[in-house]
């Protein structure tokens, strides 16, 4: 398969995973706290899983995994796996937009460091062995 197609599958997997996180968070905001560890925790977790946005988030993760399998079948794990850090950046940006979460300056610095690392992996890593 052509490298650009694998890269597209990687971006789709990363995007679906990030959207899955946002959906899970939205679903859990609607559901509320699971409560302290104890007898009712398992029942609360099961009930939370059955809420629409949590189900959507889990479905997005499942679909993302299918795209990820295509990437793993073609690229070195040592090259592909660090690229998942793109989803960390996406989740922070989406959290700011959808949940109005505040991101501290040191967090932005950390994100910049991750992006620098991604550029290094993409530039100097080898996608195939």
- Does residue 118 carry a pLDDT above 70? yes
Closest CA to 103 of 114, 4, 2, 111: 111
pLDDT at 127 over 80: no
Looking at residue 40, its pLDDT comes to 85
**Residue 58's CB: how many other CB atoms inside 10 A?**
15
The residue ranking higher by pLDDT, 36 or 29, is 29
pLDDT tens digits for range 70-93: 999 999 998 899 999 999 999 999
Cα–Cα distance between 89 and 83 in angstroms, integer? 11
Q: How much is the pLDDT for 123? A: 84
pLDDT of the residue at 129: 60
Q: pTM, whole model, 2 decimals? A: 0.88
């Amino acid at each position: 398969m052509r490298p650009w197609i694998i890269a597209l599958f990687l971006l789709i997997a990363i995007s679906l995973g990030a959207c899955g996180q946002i959906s899970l968070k939205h679903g859990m905001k609607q559901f509320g706290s699971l409560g302290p560890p104890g007898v009712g925790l398992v029942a609360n977790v099961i009930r939370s899983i059955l809420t629409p946005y949590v189900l959507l988030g889990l479905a997005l993760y499942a679909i993302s995994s299918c795209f990820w399998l295509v990437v793993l079948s073609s690229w070195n794990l040592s090259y592909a796996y660090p690229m998942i850090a793109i989803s960390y950046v996406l989740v922070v940006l989406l959290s700011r937009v959808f949940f109005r979460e505040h991101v501290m300056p040191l967090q932005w610095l950390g994100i910049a460091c991750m992006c620098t690392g991604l550029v290094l992996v993409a530039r100097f890593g080898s996608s195939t062995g």
